[in-house]
């Protein structure tokens, strides 16, 4: 039970009992459902939290402030949240927040903020050449942390897929150039050194580390292993922290030496973006993985990986007169026996397929998601209510340590690289290049000894909590 409320709609309103419901074991989930029905509670798929007033009566919407544990306070002891703007002082019921999240799920993501010129604008830190205010904000946000996480972005691919919404350098304009890759990784290490000095990273405990993209396995393995080694020398990276990297079927099949090099460097989780086994459609979307999938899986297992995820994507247009291949994609992927399977709903905004969004009905998308959940659960893959990752490993969300701790535990992180995002309990930061997808400004900024930040926001407490809640929605 939370502590008694001291502010909000009613300081004397009855306290709520909160039940966290998950699907690690279907029997446990069904038992929880029966208990909730007997007690008069309401269970909502997609929320993960069920609230009812003690005694079974209908719960009254209530917001009660709480103090985070000491490990989550973060930042310098003297560093404060910014003063909340008027709109951020409006109080909403949990139901209002939940329904808003469901309404806007199709446009919500963790990329460059949709409301960066509106919602977050009042908290933006001035950009000046000396970066004094930016440094003060980041130092105050991170310097007192006992533990944090790192993300490194590798914005290179052989070809940009039609469905991609991420920060990727145009392959036809330098994205395939090995010399550009080399200079980029030099800049990554340079940015790491800048953060080491600014935030006192040396010796800090890192509890999550992801290498994403783009396709990080597209570049020479030496770049990746060197970066991992550099970070390992600088920070305290416990041996049980699962470093994660991404690959494609074609690369994993054709270049097994890369996959083995990652494992030898200490990377223990690998995620392969398959997306679909309808290879005719895949070619139209910019992918050519036909004939590579089985060999890719074998090479990943031979390298030693025991935490292996496959990404799938649904919500693509289905041609008239054809059969939806989505069920085949799910069943054939399960036959590969990955440890985890992650389902991504196609988001058309910001992709080269945005003009096709009107051809896809919400009913179709929802039906595909429900069907996949049913098929996965029938074969022993379990996932949290509302979460898009399913795992065969007991008591494992299936996600990387970085993503799990970022979204569930709100552990602060620093993002390195083009367009990367950083988030603490007091600040939100976006690096240069997230909009332009070009390397020039990012590399130049690091070369000049300046943190390559595009936008830094000194958040109010309510804005920080709002950001955290919006990201958590898709995690169940």
**DSSP per position, 22-76:** --SSHHHHHHHHHHHHHHT----TTT-EEEEETTSPPPPP-----PPPHHHH-S-
Closest C-alpha among 152, 174, 310 to residue 231: 152
> pLDDT of 280-318, one tens digit each?
888 888 888 999 999 999 999 999 999 999 999 998 887
Residues in the chain with pLDDT values less than 70 = 1-77, 101-102, 104-118, 349-350, 474, 476
Dist CA 184 CA 218 (whole Å) = 14
pLDDT score recorded for residue 59: 38
The tokens 């995620």 sit on which residue? 271
The tokens 């039609």 sit on which residue? 162
Residues in a beta bridge with 49: 20
Residues in a beta bridge with 344: 313
pLDDT score recorded for residue 168: 92
The tokens 């400004």 sit on which residue? 441
Q: Which of helix, strand or coil describes residue 422?
A: strand
> pLDDT of 237-256, one tens digit each?
999 999 999 999 999 999 99
Helix locations, 336-399, DSSP H: 362-378
Q: pTM for the full model?
A: 0.80
Radius of gyration of the chain (CA): 23
The tokens 């008239």 sit on which residue? 320
The tokens 């955290």 sit on which residue? 468
Dist CA 410 CA 19 (whole Å) = 20
Q: Is 271 left (phi over 0), alpha (psi -120 to 50) or beta?
A: beta
> pLDDT of 352-398, one tens digit each?
777 777 778 888 888 999 999 999 999 999 987 778 999 999 888 99
Order of all β-strands in the sheet with 453-458: 389-391, 340-345, 307-314, 267-275, 243-247, 205-213, 147-154, 413-416, 421-423, 427-431, 453-458
The tokens 């007033």 sit on which residue? 53
Maximum Cα–Cα distance for the chain, whole Å? Answer: 67
Dist CA 398 CA 340 (whole Å) = 5
Map out the domains of the chain as residue ranges: 1-67, 74-242+400-476
Residue 391 burial by CB count (10 A; 0-12/13-18/19+): exposed, middle or buried? Answer: buried
Contact 407, 472 (CB under 8 A): yes
């Amino acid at each position: 039970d939370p502590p008694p409320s001291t502010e909000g709609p009613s300081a004397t309103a009855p306290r709520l009992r909160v039940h966290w419901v998950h699907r690690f074991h279907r029997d446990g989930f069904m038992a929880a459902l029966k208990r909730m029905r007997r007690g008069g509670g309401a269970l909502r798929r997609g929320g993960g939290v069920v609230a009812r007033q003690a005694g079974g009566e209908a719960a009254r919407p209530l917001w009660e402030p709480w103090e985070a544990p000491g490990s989550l306070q973060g930042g310098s002891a003297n560093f404060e949240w910014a003063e909340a703007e008027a709109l951020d002082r409006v109080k909403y019921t949990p139901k209002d927040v939940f329904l808003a999240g469901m309404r806007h799920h199709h446009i919500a993501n963790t990329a460059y903020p949709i409301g960066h010129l509106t919602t977050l604008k009042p908290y933006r830190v001035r950009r000046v050449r000396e970066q004094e205010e930016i440094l003060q904000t980041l130092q105050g946000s991170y310097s007192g942390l006992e533990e944090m996480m790192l993300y490194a972005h590798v914005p290179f691919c052989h070809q940009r897929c039609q469905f991609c919404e991420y920060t990727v350098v145009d392959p036809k304009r330098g994205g395939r150039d090995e010399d550009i890759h080399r200079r980029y990784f030099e800049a990554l290490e340079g940015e790491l050194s800048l953060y080491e000095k600014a935030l006192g990273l040396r010796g800090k405990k890192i509890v999550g580390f992801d290498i994403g993209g783009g396709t990080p396995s597209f570049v020479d393995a030496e770049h990746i292993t060197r970066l991992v080694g550099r970070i390992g020398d600088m920070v305290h990276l416990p041996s049980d922290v699962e470093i994660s990297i991404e690959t494609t079927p074609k690369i994993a099949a054709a270049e097994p030496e890369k996959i083995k090099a990652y494992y030898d460097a200490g990377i223990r989780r690998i995620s392969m973006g398959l997306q679909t086994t309808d290879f005719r459609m895949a070619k139209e979307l910019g992918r050519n993985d036909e004939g590579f999938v089985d060999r890719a899986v074998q090479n990943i297992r031979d390298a030693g990986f025991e935490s292996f995820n496959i990404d799938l994507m649904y919500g693509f247009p289905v041609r008239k007169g054809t059969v939806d291949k989505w069920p085949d994609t799910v069943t054939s992927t399960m036959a590969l026996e990955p440890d985890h399977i992650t389902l991504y709903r196609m988001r058309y905004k910001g992709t080269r397929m945005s003009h096709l969004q009107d051809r896809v009905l919400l009913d179709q998308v929802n039906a595909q998601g429900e069907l996949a959940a049913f098929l996965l659960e029938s074969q022993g893959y379990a996932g949290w209510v509302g979460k898009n990752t399913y795992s065969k490993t007991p008591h494992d969300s299936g996600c990387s340590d970085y993503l799990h701790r970022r979204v569930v535990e709100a552990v602060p992180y620093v993002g390195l690289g083009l367009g990367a995002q950083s988030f603490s309990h007091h600040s939100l930061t976006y690096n240069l290049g997230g909009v332009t997808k070009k390397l020039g400004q990012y590399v130049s900024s690091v070369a000049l000894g300046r943190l390559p930040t595009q936008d830094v926001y000194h958040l109010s407490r309510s804005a920080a909590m709002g950001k955290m809640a919006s990201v958590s929605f898709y995690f169940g």
